[in-house]
Structure 1
């Protein structure tokens, strides 16, 4: 099981796409796993035949455990050998799968790197002394053992193969980058995600990922299997295991709530002109084929207000005792899924035009519906929007996404009596709530930012005059 989320300790196997005896090729997706951050598809880095699946679907497996073995020698998969009795394994394995007797066990071995097979070596393992009860096993020749791909277990790198984790390989494939041409900067010559982006910079646009929650009756639901509940014997209770995204979210929210001193401010205002702008943009030729909704304009208003109040887009570095001002905005959109709350973000949203922002939101809606939101899409956010209005809720007091200084809750937009030009008229009204970390955002800054967002949505022409 590889660490597909850079620091995760376990993942649940959601679905196997192969079975023993199936032929696989380098890069083929063999299973889908759910981490504490997202559902991720795992590719295989070899050509061969599946020998054994070590864990069934629904099993939570620690990072580093063997989950699949593949015979790369060609032909049908061999029968499971009796190697555990004849070979001294260097470390415990999760299931009785043999490893080649000739597999290397060099001194001072480097840390395991996912994505590779067994290193070539002339060194042989010392055979274990046989007990009186197993003379036949010692005398018998070692059966050909399947190679366990290091990408899903791992021993060391294959000679001549660039070192990179599966998510980095997939990123390189998506961006059309040949890993052999990339200069690695990671430990032990490992190619990182940043290395791939640098190599792709001249020809590829930044990866844009987010999941909007707009006018739909409920937030986007990712198409992944829901956690199977365990029903109590008297059928009066249902117990749902706390794992995956739900577990990670719970820990993050508790940490955020009790680390950052939250302050929440509210503003209620007339959003009628923005609603009219939304209708006009739907028929604008420059927005043809793009999704236009209130969330799009609210997101743009947040970006303009952040430019006017740059200190709102920051983070608190406790270890360094520094406030880190971000000169870019990775705009997160909170979305509820069957696996729990996720917050993907649009990378460099501040640099996008309104059509580009609409396109980014739409692309990630599709990604979320397919259950393909990646861990990378949920990392590096700087500011978050959560739309509780889709539930008909007027407002809320949102908890900060860890590592960010502020989060904006958007309430329901309702037709209400409002004083407009000296007369009471029916107008579209909504409430925004801004929660912020009072260690780095004081009342003045938080109030100015919130007031600017509301002012833009009251008079959307300010998107032009203030931009």
Structure 2
């Protein structure tokens, strides 16, 4: 007999309160195994793939891609006993048994990553069997839920926008794997008028189906050709041709970044210092190391040299690797460097960490930075790689920018910005020469770091990049 369970959005062990459903990896009717990935979500920090804690058959997807839901909200329903091997279903059991089964549901969830106490305490959609537990036991087991009347809710497979069409094949059949772009009120109207959204082509920005599109289809009218102002676009958000404005909701990584930066700017008293250095020796050393076997398969960049310099300089000035603990009334000095590398990604700015960067060689740092940035750009950075940083480097030089005044990441006390390396006139041994020159800027929390310590640290980093041989003196 069928036994139905609902899969809630979990707290992925990072204080998650809500997340956006990006993509379903399954559809109704699919048979899944324990710990199989069923959905990809976007949290405030990164994209995360969630596994299912049971085996069974997916019966319904409760949330559409693009929707943001709170932790604990049911997002999927499945039959965990599709072959009738487990006896009576939970919904058809006695009240006491139903309560035990409900508790068992929660216990089953705990072994998986991301199923902690917060998820259990979060708001949840009331379950039918909870209400039944308070009344008399039902006389007969319930039948499986009927297929949803809305044909769109029955299928949740999303095609990439560049591959999606209107779901209608040349032979006139409708592709059931296609999910049309339409807001809930439009879907409701289509249901009321008996219009299949999969057979429509949206006239709004990005191919979104409007109320007018549905009404025209219901009246048998042909949709007008999209104009230049309303033609589908790959840009996110909604476009208003009348005002020529595009509005994008603030959520995900962008929302988290904004909150963190505002909190840091108004909490930690920022001071920023600058230095300009000749890095010609560093660039010459890089060219030399690239020809050695140890660095044959390593992408050795100025960022890797800067990371090594920061780790060495932090040993002489430990204040830059400390943090102000307001609640405890203490300054906490870290005996390790978890080095954050600011990475620009399609979802926004994130800062993955190189764990124990101070214990790594130059080659190991270069490999770690390359792996972190590649994973970040793919949107696959796990939450644990973005927590507990002690110092951050941001490389604005890759955009051709000379320098900037970076904002300190919350939980840290300093951040270093690397500027672009440019050919510039420089005085060498009393003579003018063309050299490789770059600017560095250091922002630090003046509660923890005095001007002396900040200046000493920045000067040390500059000296190490200007002449890497100085490293042997540390």
| Fold agreement, TM-score > 0.5 | yes
Aligned residues: 358
Q: 1:414 aligns with which of 398, 419, 422?
A: 422
Task: Say whether 1:142 aligns with 2:170.
Answer: no
Q: Deviations over 1:117-169 (max 9, x none)?
A: xx9xxx99755669xxxxxx9765433689xxxxxxxxxxxxxxxxxxxxxxx
Name 1:303's counterpart in structure 2. Answer: 311
Q: 1:450 aligns with which of 449, 454, 458?
A: 458
Question: Which structure would you say has the larger RCO, counting Cα contacts within 8 Å and 6 or more residues apart?
Answer: 1
Cα pair 2:55 2:80 within 8 Å, conserved: yes
Q: Deviations over 1:164-221 (max 9, x none)?
A: xxxxxxxxxxxxxxxxxxxxxxxxxxxxxxxxxxxxxxxxxxxxxxxxxxxxxxxxxx
Name 2:29's counterpart in structure 1. Answer: 21
Cα pair 1:330 1:380 within 8 Å, conserved: yes
Deviation at 1:52? Answer: 1.1
Cα pair 1:88 1:128 within 8 Å, conserved: no
Name 1:386's counterpart in structure 2. Answer: 394
Deviation at 1:358? Answer: 1.5
Cα pair 1:39 1:371 within 8 Å, conserved: yes
Which structure features the higher share of helix residues?
Answer: 2
Cα pair 1:53 1:68 within 8 Å, conserved: yes
Name 1:320's counterpart in structure 2. Answer: 328
Map of 1:2-401 to 2, 5 A cutoff?
A: 2-75=10-83, 101=98, 104=101, 113=110, 115=112, 126-127=132-133, 141-143=141-143, 228-234=236-242, 236-401=244-409
Cα pair 2:34 2:54 within 8 Å, conserved: yes
Cα pair 1:5 1:37 within 8 Å, conserved: no
Cα pair 1:303 1:350 within 8 Å, conserved: yes
Name 1:441's counterpart in structure 2. Answer: 449
**Which piece of structure 1 moves more, 417-426 or 286-295?**
286-295
Please give the alpha-carbon distance, in whole angstroms, between the structure 2 residues aligned to 1:69 and 1:321: 48
C-alpha change, 1:102 and 1:129, in structure 2 (3 Å) is closer
Q: Deviations over 1:395-415 (max 9, x none)?
A: 100000101000000011110
Q: Secondary structure at the match of 1:407?
A: strand
Please give the alpha-carbon distance, in whole angstroms, between the structure 1 residues aligned to 2:411 and 2:99: 48
Where structure 2 has 5 or more consecutive residues not aligned to the other structure, the ranges are 1-8, 121-128, 147-233
C-alpha change, 1:103 and 1:68, in structure 2 (3 Å) is farther
Please give the alpha-carbon distance, in whole angstroms, between the structure 2 residues aligned to 1:235 and 1:227: 17
Please give the alpha-carbon distance, in whole angstroms, between the structure 2 residues aligned to 1:268 and 1:359: 27
Deviation at 1:35? Answer: 0.3
Please give the alpha-carbon distance, in whole angstroms, between the structure 2 residues aligned to 1:414 and 1:444: 29
Cα pair 1:25 1:48 within 8 Å, conserved: yes
Deviation at 1:363? Answer: 1.8
Name 1:425's counterpart in structure 2. Answer: 433
C-alpha change, 1:87 and 1:6, in structure 2 (3 Å) is farther
Q: What's the TM-score, normalizing by structure 2?
A: 0.70
Q: Secondary structure at the match of 1:306?
A: helix
- CA RMSD in angstroms comes to 3.1
Deviation at 1:368? Answer: 2.1
Q: Secondary structure at the match of 1:355?
A: helix
Please give the alpha-carbon distance, in whole angstroms, between the structure 2 residues aligned to 1:322 and 1:446: 19
Q: Secondary structure at the match of 1:273?
A: helix
C-alpha change, 1:2 and 1:88, in structure 2 (3 Å) is farther
Please give the alpha-carbon distance, in whole angstroms, between the structure 2 residues aligned to 1:227 and 1:127: 49
Please give the alpha-carbon distance, in whole angstroms, between the structure 1 residues aligned to 2:15 and 2:377: 26
Q: Deviations over 1:80-124 (max 9, x none)?
A: x9x7xx9999xxxxxxxxxx9565467xx99x95847xx9xxx99
Q: Max radius of gyration: which structure? A: 2
Deviation at 1:228? Answer: 3.1
